[in-house]
Amino acid sequence: MAKIFFTDWESLLNVGISTLIGFVVLFLFIRISGKRTLSKLTAFDFVVTVALGSTLAYMMLGTVPLVEGAEVLFLVIFMQYVFAWSARSSKPLEKLINSVPTLLYYNDAFLEEAMSKEAVTKDELYAAIRHLGIEYMEDVKAIVMEVNGVLTVVQKSKGSGIGALDEIVKP
């Protein structure tokens, strides 16, 4: 009989123990490292999440020994922390690591070049507006693609002063 469904009881026990230990180790590392480890704020954070999941899978299936897998988990989380701290400490490093938000619509105009660069269509922008229950384009001040790929719609306001768009829109 092919071993496609079952190898032996010892392998089954090893996978079960590896899964329990690997899960607990990853859970503890994430609790120690903080919420950002799984935040998916940036492309780098997404890569960290994928690397953690992949490593955990290898640990659970017994492809790598538990101690080596735990070392990889620790190093990935540590590097994520180092990169996040570096980005916070240096504006040039922040731009290199995290990219910057992209303005796609501003003051009644679609910014076609930016939309093309980010591969975003007008229909996707309209969908983001509808999602917020905004009926008229005239009520929209701007649409921004954030560093994590989320579309943020900024409504026009009657207020004045420094706003969240001032960092993106340079007069």
Please tell me whether residues 15 and 91 are part of one structural domain: yes
Average pLDDT of the residues of the chain: 87
Please tell me whether residues 69 and 113 are part of one structural domain: no
Q: Is residue 163 part of a domain?
A: no
Q: Is residue 169 part of a domain?
A: no
Please tell me whether residues 104 and 67 are part of one structural domain: no
Please tell me whether residues 108 and 64 are part of one structural domain: no
Q: Is residue 3 part of a domain?
A: no
Please tell me whether residues 84 and 106 are part of one structural domain: no
Give how far Cα 68 sits from Cα of 15, 81, 154, Å: 16, 20, 47
Please tell me whether residues 92 and 13 are part of one structural domain: yes
Give how far Cα 36 sits from Cα of 33, 75, 82, 102, Å: 8, 15, 12, 22
pLDDT tens digits along 78-112: 998 898 889 889 888 887 877 788 999 999 999 99
Residue 166 DSSP label: T
Q: Is residue 171 part of a domain?
A: no
109-110 vs 151-155, strand pairing mode: unpaired
Please tell me whether residues 19 and 90 are part of one structural domain: yes
Output the domain CATH number for residue 131. Answer: 3.30.240.20
Please tell me whether residues 117 and 90 are part of one structural domain: no
Could you tell me the pTM of the whole model?
0.68
Q: What is the pLDDT of residue 165?
A: 67
| Position 150 confidence tier, pLDDT thresholds 50, 70, 90 | confident
Please tell me whether residues 136 and 115 are part of one structural domain: yes
Range of the domain at 31: 9-96
Do 18 and 26 meet the contact criterion of CB atoms below 8 Å apart? no
Q: Is residue 143 part of a domain?
A: yes
Alpha helix positions (H), 40-103? 43-60, 66-89, 91-98
Position 159 pLDDT exceeds 70: no
Considering its fold, how many domains does the chain have in total?
A: 2
pLDDT tens digits along 25-63: 999 988 888 777 777 677 778 888 899 999 999 999 989
Q: Is residue 39 part of a domain?
A: yes
- How far apart are alpha carbons 43 and 121 in whole angstroms? 21
